[in-house]
Amino acid sequence: MDGVHDMGGRQGFGPIHYTPGAATFHAEWERRANALYGLAVRHGIFNMDEYRHGIERMDPRHYMGASYYERTLTSLATLLVEKGVVTRAELEQLAQGFVPLSAPAAPGRTNLPNRERFQPGDRVRVRDEFFAGHIRMPAYIRGKTGVVVRETPIYPFPDAHAHGVPAEDEPTFDVAFRSEDLWPQGADSALVHVGVFQSYLDRAT
């Protein structure tokens, strides 16, 4: 989906700040949120694509102000309510206050019919399309042309996997894009490699 979470390639956010050797968790609740999310996935309550889409569906103001594990906790709570494991009322009783949940999900979609298979060296073009549901196509590569480097093993198609829609697993292709093509007059010369699902690609003419 097109949301505030898709920040790749966007300008105006300044340099990325990081602390070498920083602790993974800064509070006990973060450790518990992470453990509960992992437990839910392991027990098949929801899958990784559903989890990612739960974060994507957060209110933009909440998303921008939330920490990494706050986003995890919001997606976890949303999916547990949607799956009928717990009710929002029960969560708010435990929290003794308001529990923010993500917006409802949009419908999913199945694989592109008549998908092409590509070989290293093939020129491909990313489909220039927009989708209201979960999608693993970064906005900054849409409509852009690159060169296939290699093919990776098959994986559940995320546009379907996040929504319970039947679909075939498919490979991603490691596609190399020239930075000048992605951001004309706005980037140093370099190659940017992106794993792109087969259904997102057409052969470049």
Q: What is the pTM of this model?
A: 0.91
Q: How far is CA 46 from CA 2, 31, 81, 84, 177, in A?
A: 22, 19, 11, 12, 33
pLDDT at position 86: 97
* Percentage of the residues of the chain whose pLDDT score is greater than 70: 100
| 187 pLDDT more than 80 | no
Residue-wise pLDDT for 49-73, tens only, equals: 999 999 999 999 999 999 999 999 9
Q: How far is CA 117 from CA 96, 124, 144, 173, in A?
A: 54, 11, 18, 9
pLDDT at position 188: 84
Residue-wise pLDDT for 146-175, tens only, equals: 999 999 999 999 999 999 999 999 999 999
Among 107, 98, 105, 29, which residue's Cα sits nearest to residue 69? 29
Mean predicted confidence (pLDDT) in 2-21: 79
Please state which architecture CATH assigns to domain 123-203. Roll (2.30)
Q: How far is CA 61 from CA 6, 11, 58, 135, in A?
A: 14, 19, 8, 21
Residue-wise pLDDT for 100-151, tens only, equals: 999 999 899 999 999 999 999 999 999 999 889 999 999 999 999 999 999 9
pLDDT at position 198: 98
| 1 pLDDT more than 70 | no
In the predicted model, what is the mean pLDDT of the chain?
94
Banded pLDDT at 16 (limits 50, 70, 90): confident
Say yes or no: do domains 1-103 and 123-203 share a fold: no
Q: CATH homologous superfamily of domain 1-103?
A: Nitrile hydratase, beta subunit (1.10.472.20)
Q: Where are the domains of the chain?
A: 1-103, 123-203
